[in-house]
Structure formats: structure tokens, C-alpha cells
């Protein structure tokens, strides 16, 4: 019997500024290459949520949409908490990740006080203003390989009492001289890595897929079609690494 997987991308009309919602399609395609049947469901309203969910992707959005996106995520807070305890992988990028934290602080303009937006509290920590926005390549060492992406954020991530996604080799990551990037709590992953990150870093996609397949009672094995695609991604990562003075993979 073929493994059937449903991958949800939440509120992409608000949370897809960098194409990060398309990480869901990366998961679906790689699942298909591994012999599974996979579909992507774009959920813009809680009523559109499918009965069964195998993975969740939350992209990044603009600061002007933070409150609207937060309010939509609140309508699924029970589901997000349940998924996080039932082994459903949740990948949250940029502001999508920040909104899963305890809160997001926005720097005041022209002497105005800092504005604080309450998050939904799925992940520890909070996003706090930086003096200068970070826009550069980010390279991270993780337990499932070196990850490369682009970071573009005006906030650091502070007081993350959970495991980091990895250690920064080049770039800022969570900032505040932490040398860390992202946060991982169980099957919930938050990161600054844009790209989309799973297209640039197949090893990260495969880590999530292994969890999805295992939860579905199946074993994940990278499909033959993935080999040539992964080689292209590896070459692209190496170009960035060499330019930053790092060794090739």
C-alpha cells in the first residue's frame, strides 16, 4: 500500500514573502520520488484544514502583516500544540517562526516606544530588535549536515530555552553573540534560513521526511530522482561556502 501524505502550508497569502511556503512542495516532491503519494494543501482559513496532516510549513511575511498573521495562527493554536506533541513536523521560517514564540518586539520609529506583539507561545524565546538589519548568506552546522540559506531579518531571537537548529559558521543567526541559529523543540523547527531552505538543503528535507514516513508507519528512502537534484543543490551550497572562505562539502 502506498504511503499517503498531506502537507499543509499555513496562510501563504500572508506568509510567503520569500517563497518559503514552497518548502511544502519540496517535501511533497521528494516524498513522491520516494514512492509515496503526497499533496500540498494551502490553508487560508481554519475551516480549510484537512482531516489529517503529516507536516506543516509556515512561511515568512512582512511586519505590516504580523498582527493579521498572528490572529490567523491563533485560530489553530490547539492544532499546532497537538501537532507539536504528536510528532507532526512543523517548519516555521522568519516571521512565521517569530510568531510561534512568546512575542515579537518592533523597534520604535522617531523615538516612539517599542511595540510588542504577543506570539502564540508554541516555542520559547522572543524576537527583539537589532540595531541594523541583517541581509546576507547564512551557513549553519547541524547534526544532519551543513545548511546554507539567506537571512533577512531586523530582529534577534532571544531567550530560546531549547536546542538550536545548529551553530553559525558564517552570518548572524539568532544574534546577540550566541553563535546559534534557529530553535528546535521536538518536531517543531524555527529558522531564519530562506531559500526556500529545503530546496537548497535536501538533508534537512530528508530529516523531516524521515519523521513523516516513520509516523505513517513507513520507511523513508531517498528516491533515485533526488540524486541529480541533490548534486545541483550541493554545488550551489559550495559556491556560497567558498565565497565565504569555508571548505566545500
Overall average pLDDT of the 67-92 stretch = 97
pTM of the model: 0.96
- Indicate the average pLDDT of the chain: 94
CA 150 to chain centre: 12
- Quick one: pLDDT at residue 73? 98
- Quick one: pLDDT at residue 113? 66
- Quick one: pLDDT at residue 111? 60
Confidence of residue 159 (pLDDT cuts 50, 70, 90): confident
Residue whose grid cell is 540524486: 227
| 133 annotated ligand binder | yes
42, β-bridge pairs? 9
Give the gyration radius of the chain's Cα atoms: 17
- Quick one: pLDDT at residue 112? 61
Q: For residues 179 and 215, what is the distance between their CA atoms, to the nearest angstrom?
A: 32
Q: Pick the residue with more confidence: 200 or 107?
A: 200
Please give the order of strands across the beta sheet that includes 37-43: 37-43, 4-10, 55-58, 90-93, 188-191, 183-185
Q: For residues 85 and 88, what is the distance between their CA atoms, to the nearest angstrom?
A: 8
Each residue's pLDDT tens digit, 87-141: 999 999 999 999 999 999 998 665 666 689 999 999 999 999 998 999 999 999 9
Residue from 102, 153, 192, 194 carrying the catalytic annotation: 194
1-15, 146-160, 199-213: range with highest mean pLDDT = 199-213
Q: For residues 149 and 172, what is the distance between their CA atoms, to the nearest angstrom?
A: 12
Q: Quick one: cell of 35?
A: 514512492
- Quick one: pLDDT at residue 10? 98
- Quick one: pLDDT at residue 110? 58
194 is catalytic: yes
Confidence of residue 161 (pLDDT cuts 50, 70, 90): confident
- Quick one: pLDDT at residue 179? 94
Q: Quick one: cell of 10?
A: 499555513
**Predicted confidence (pLDDT) at residue 1 exceeds the cutoff of 60:** no
CB 189 within 8 Å of CB 197 = no
Q: For the domain with range 4-243, which CATH number is right: 3.40.50.880, 3.40.50.150, 2.30.40.10, 3.20.20.10?
A: 3.40.50.880
**Predicted confidence (pLDDT) at residue 247 exceeds the cutoff of 80:** yes
Amino acid at each position: 500500500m502506498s504511503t499517503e501524505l498531506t502537507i499543509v502550508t499555513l496562510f501563504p497569502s500572508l506568509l510567503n514573502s520569500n517563497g518559503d511556503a514552497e518548502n511544502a512542495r519540496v517535501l511533497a516532491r521528494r516524498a513522491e520520488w520516494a514512492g509515496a503519494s503526497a499533496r500540498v494543501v494551502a490553508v487560508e482559513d481554519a475551516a480549510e484544514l484537512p482531516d489529517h496532516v503529516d507536516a506543516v510549513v509556515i512561511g515568512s511575511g512582512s511586519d505590516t502583516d504580523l498582527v493579521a498573521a498572528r490572529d490567523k495562527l491563533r485560530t489553530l493554536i490547539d492544532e499546532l500544540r497537538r501537532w507539536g506533541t504528536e510528532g507532526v513536523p512543523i517548519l516555521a521560517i522568519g516571521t512565521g517562526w517569530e510568531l510561534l514564540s512568546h512575542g515579537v518586539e518592533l523597534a520604535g520609529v522617531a523615538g516612539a516606544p517599542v511595540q510588542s506583539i504577543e506570539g502564540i507561545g508554541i516555542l520559547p524565546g522572543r524576537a527583539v530588535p537589532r540595531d541594523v538589519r541583517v541581509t546576507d548568506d547564512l551557513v549553519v552546522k547541524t547534526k544532519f549536515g551543513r545548511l546554507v540559506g539567506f537571512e533577512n531579518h531586523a530582529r534577534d531571537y532571544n531567550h530560546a530555552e531549547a536546542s538550536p537548529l545548529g551553530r553559525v559558521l558564517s552570518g548572524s543567526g539568532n544574534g546577540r553573540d550566541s553563535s546559534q541559529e534557529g530553535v528546535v523543540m521536538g518536531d517543531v523547527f524555527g529558522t531564519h534560513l530562506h531559500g526556500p531552505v529545503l530546496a537548497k538543503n535536501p538533508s534537512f528535507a530528508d530529516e523531516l521526511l524521515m519523521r513523516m514516513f516513520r509516523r505513517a508507519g513507513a520507511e523513508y528512502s531517498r528516491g533515485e530522482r533526488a540524486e541529480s537534484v541533490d548534486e545541483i543543490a550541493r554545488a550551489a551550497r559550495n559556491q556560497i561556502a567558498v565565497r565565504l572562505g569555508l571548505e566545500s562539502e
